[in-house]
């Protein structure tokens, strides 16, 4: 992990002194706010609500807005991580310093993950607002944020790998969207494929189904294993890719 | 300090470096000399641990650059050719980042930063965004980065490229000063740089070592011999007079020599393999005096490295044995 802290700090600084993080934050919060507003407005017109379809459940579990904004936010956060350094040549200064590949990858990845968490932080306000007018089911809140963290962390890991494989930020962005969207599409298979192992597989990897479950306060170990894999595998490959630059 | 054995680097089918072996001892200031595209940068990148070699091995202060990469890299201050920097950071922020990355202890970080800023003469832009810096300043910020952890070995890829003449003089002076405490390997295609800063040079061309030795040894490699004369020759008759002297193979006249319009600098080249070169110069001088041309300076045998370099690299793959300049 040699070099982790300096790289983490530098990435955070670079992210937040350039407009990128602020632009993403604005667009992201606008979309989330819109989604939350519509849901609350819609639900306020209903006379009766079932236990599993309160505003939080709808916001985290049943809104396509959430998934779509993640599909755009995560690739945009990770696209520059390695691609920009490779294009501008700063990678040469970085990799000739006494740093390890693990330190470089971990520093960069955790910086975007922190940024991602910071972007979600203001949405806690929604919970505060709901609390003013009614009861809040805290296990639902906890499980939902865990799901959001898991999916985001997985997409960010995927994006980190894509950024390490190209010197073009645009290519990194598109590849990450393609892969994370591909995973999302796989999930739709749950509704269109005949019952069988394939349909089960689709249900297992379906981001939408997973969020639906989390939003009901269900934390399934299989989901945790799935996210851990989605985070670990791309990062492991990224470390190998970064290491391989030193080989012939 | 550096031991490179049989380095080879292929890019696809292109052979950038071919079986290159050399050593750089502790405390030496050595130049890698060669035309553009000779394989200098590739070699330095391999030494700095950025690129892997196709074959061969490198040890930095006894540490293998592949097997003990982090340890080996901790010995090196490397200035890459294009001096890539993060444009969104201020110079001070960038150098602070680099000092942390290079594990300068926290207690010494501030002092190291101020020292690097002062050595590279970038104190006046310490709080400027790198984005707004000129090429010359960026180059020197890169140099400050190479110096910040006070590493025993400095690898500088074209350290004076993009600088104006005053800055070039400053950087050369700095390299000479640094050479007292650090081992330095620099690459350049500018010959006066080698003559003014280095103990020893390695001439590489097409990825192979053509010659190596001290500056004086390399000068003797030059075929034939010659002299450089500074003459007061308002009528410009020197070339004609010199051409008639037996043993003179060529005469090159440089107008606008410093010191006035009447002066010209004349480089006389002698026939190859001719003995008694000094005698030929004596005849040439007396011939000039007979014709009433005044002589201000005579530099016999001090053929510039420039000619040696041209001779070595002009004929592609000339069979000149590496180390032909002596046992360096």
d(CA A11, CA A33): 28
Instruction: Report chain A residues whose CB lies below 8 A from the CB of B54.
Output: 248
Please enumerate in sequence order all residues whose Cβ is within 8 A of that of A41, keeping only pairs 6 or more positions apart, or say none. Answer: none
User: Residue A31 is inside which H or E element, if any?
Assistant: helix A19-44
Q: Are residues B168 and B139 in the same domain?
A: yes
Angle between helices B135-147 and B106-119 (to 10 degrees): 140
Q: Are residues B197 and B242 in the same domain?
A: no
Q: Supply the ipTM of this predicted assembly.
A: 0.87
pLDDT, residue B157, reads 93
Q: Are residues B95 and B199 in the same domain?
A: yes
Q: Are residues B105 and B182 in the same domain?
A: yes
Please enumerate in sequence order all residues whose Cβ is within 8 A of that of B251, keeping only pairs 6 or more positions apart, or say none. Answer: B238, B239, B242, B243, B266, B267, B268, B269
pLDDT, residue A99, reads 93
Instruction: Answer yes or no: is B116 within a domain.
Output: yes
Q: Are residues B93 and B202 in the same domain?
A: yes
How far apart are the CA of B251 and the nearest CA of chain A, in angstroms? 46
Round to the nearest angstrom and report the end-to-end CA distance of chain A.
Answer: 23
pLDDT in tens, chain B (328 residues): 899 999 999 888 888 898 999 999 999 999 988 888 888 999 999 999 999 899 999 999 999 998 898 999 999 999 998 888 999 999 999 999 999 999 999 999 999 999 999 999 899 999 999 999 998 899 999 999 999 999 999 999 999 887 888 888 888 889 999 999 899 999 987 777 887 888 888 988 888 888 888 877 776 666 556 777 888 888 888 888 888 888 787 787 877 666 677 888 887 877 766 666 777 888 888 888 988 888 888 876 555 566 667 767 765 444 444 443 333 3
pLDDT, residue A52, reads 66
How far apart are the CA of A87 and the nearest CA of chain B, in angstroms? 10
d(CA A36, CA A149): 18
Cα dihedral across residues B37, B39, B44, B50: positive or negative: positive
CB nearest to A92's CB, from B52, B54, B84: B84
Q: Are residues B251 and B161 in the same domain?
A: no
Q: In this model, does residue A104 exceed pLDDT 90?
A: yes
Helix (H, G, I), strand (E, B) or coil at B203: strand
Comparing alpha-carbon positions, the chain A residue that sits nearest to B93 is A10
Q: Are residues B255 and B215 in the same domain?
A: no
The domain limits of chain A are: 4-31+56-242
CA distances to B257, B263, B270 from B233, rounded to whole Å, are 11, 6, 21
Instruction: Answer yes or no: is B324 within a domain.
Output: no
Asked if B80 and A92 come within 8 Å (Cβ–Cβ), the reply is: yes
Residue among B309, B289, B159, B279 nearest B219 (CA): B309
How far apart are the CA of B54 and the nearest CA of chain A, in angstroms? 5
pTM, whole model, 2 decimals?
0.82
pLDDT, residue B71, reads 92
Comparing alpha-carbon positions, the chain B residue that sits nearest to A104 is B101
Helix (H) and strand (E) counts for chain A? 13, 0
pLDDT, residue B263, reads 84
Average pLDDT of the residues in A129-141: 85
Asked if A90 and B51 come within 8 Å (Cβ–Cβ), the reply is: no
Structural domain of B85: 2-220
Q: Are residues B137 and B17 in the same domain?
A: yes
Instruction: Report chain B residues whose CB lies below 8 A from the CB of A247.
Output: 52
- Domain with residue B237: its CATH number is 3.30.70.1320
Q: Say yes or no: A245 contacts chain B, CB-CB below 8 A.
A: yes
Q: Are residues B142 and B195 in the same domain?
A: yes
Average pLDDT of the residues in A16-36: 92
Q: Are residues B204 and B71 in the same domain?
A: yes
Q: Provide the domain count of chain B.
A: 2
* pLDDT category of residue A193 using cuts at 50, 70 and 90: confident
Q: In this model, does residue A129 exceed pLDDT 50?
A: yes
Q: Are residues B257 and B283 in the same domain?
A: yes
Greatest mean pLDDT range, A40-49, A196-205, B87-96, B181-190: B87-96
Instruction: Answer yes or no: is B323 within a domain.
Output: no
Interface of A with B in 124-143 (CB under 8 A): none
Query: Which of B8, B84, B87, B105 should be substituted to probe chain A, the one whose Cβ sees the most A Cβ atoms within 10 Å?
Result: B84
* pLDDT category of residue A209 using cuts at 50, 70 and 90: confident
Instruction: Answer yes or no: is B312 within a domain.
Output: no
Q: Are residues B239 and B140 in the same domain?
A: no
Where does a domain end: B190, B220, B250?
Answer: B220
């Amino acid at each position: 992990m040699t070099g982790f802290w300096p790289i983490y700090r530098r990435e955070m600084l670079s992210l937040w002194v350039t407009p990128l993080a602020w632009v993403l934050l604005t667009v992201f919060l606008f979309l989330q706010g819109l989604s939350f507003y519509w849901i609350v407005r819609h639900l306020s017109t209903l006379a009766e609500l079932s236990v599993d379809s309160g505003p939080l459940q709808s916001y985290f579990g049943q809104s396509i807005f959430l998934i779509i904004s993640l599909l755009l936010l995560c690739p945009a956060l990770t696209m520059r991580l390695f691609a920009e350094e490779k294009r501008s040549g700063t990678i040469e200064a970085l990799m000739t310093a006494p740093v390890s590949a693990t330190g470089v990858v971990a520093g960069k990845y955790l910086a975007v993950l922190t940024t991602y968490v910071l972007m979600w932080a203001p949405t806690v306000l929604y919970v505060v607002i709901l609390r003013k007018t009614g009861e809040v089911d805290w296990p639902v809140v906890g499980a939902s944020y865990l799901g959001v963290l898991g999916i985001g962390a997985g997409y960010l890991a995927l994006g980190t790998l894509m950024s390490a494989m190209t010197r073009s930020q645009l290519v990194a962005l598109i590849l990450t969207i393609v892969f994370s969207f591909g995973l999302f599409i796989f999930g739709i298979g749950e509704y269109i494929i005949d019952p069988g192992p394939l349909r089960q597989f689709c249900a297992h990897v379906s981001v939408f189904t997973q969020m639906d479950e989390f939003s009901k306060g269900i934390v399934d170990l299989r989901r945790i294993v799935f996210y851990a894999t989605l985070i670990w595998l791309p990062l492991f490959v990224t470390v190998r890719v970064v290491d391989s630059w030193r080989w012939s | 300090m550096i031991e490179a054995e049989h380095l080879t680097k292929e890019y696809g089918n292109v052979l950038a470096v071919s079986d290159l072996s050399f050593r750089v001892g502790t405390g030496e200031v050595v130049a890698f000399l060669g035309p553009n595209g000779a394989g200098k940068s590739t070699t330095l990148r391999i030494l700095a641990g950025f690129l892997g070699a196709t074959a061969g091995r490198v040890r930095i202060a006894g540490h293998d650059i592949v097997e003990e990469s982090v340890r080996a890299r901790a010995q090196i201050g490397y200035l890459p050719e294009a001096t890539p920097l993060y444009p969104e950071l201020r110079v001070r922020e960038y150098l602070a980042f680099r000092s942390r990355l290079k594990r300068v202890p926290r207690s010494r970080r501030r002092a190291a930063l101020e020292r690097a800023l002062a050595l590279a003469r970038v104190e006046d832009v310490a709080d400027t965004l790198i984005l707004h810096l000129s090429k010359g300043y960026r180059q020197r910020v890169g140099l400050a980065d190479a110096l910040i952890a006070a590493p025993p070995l400095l690898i500088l890829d074209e350290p004076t490229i993009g600088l104006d003449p005053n800055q070039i003089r400053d950087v050369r002076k700095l390299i000479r000063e640094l050479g007292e405490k650090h081992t330095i390997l620099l690459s350049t295609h500018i010959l006066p740089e080698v003559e003014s800063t280095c103990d020893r040079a390695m001439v590489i061309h097409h990825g192979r070592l053509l010659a190596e030795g001290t500056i004086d040894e390399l000068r003797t490699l030059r075929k034939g011999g010659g002299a450089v004369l500074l003459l007061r020759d308002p009528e410009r008759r020197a070339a004609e007079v010199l051409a008639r002297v037996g043993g003179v193979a060529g005469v090159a006249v440089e107008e606008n020599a410093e010191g006035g319009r009447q002066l010209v600098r004349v480089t006389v080249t002698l026939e190859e393999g001719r003995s008694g070169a000094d005698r030929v110069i004596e005849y040439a001088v007396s011939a000039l005096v007979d014709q009433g041309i005044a002589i201000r300076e005579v530099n016999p045998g001090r053929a510039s490295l420039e000619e040696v370099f041209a001779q070595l690299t002009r004929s592609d793959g000339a069979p000149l044995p590496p180390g032909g300049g002596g046992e360096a």
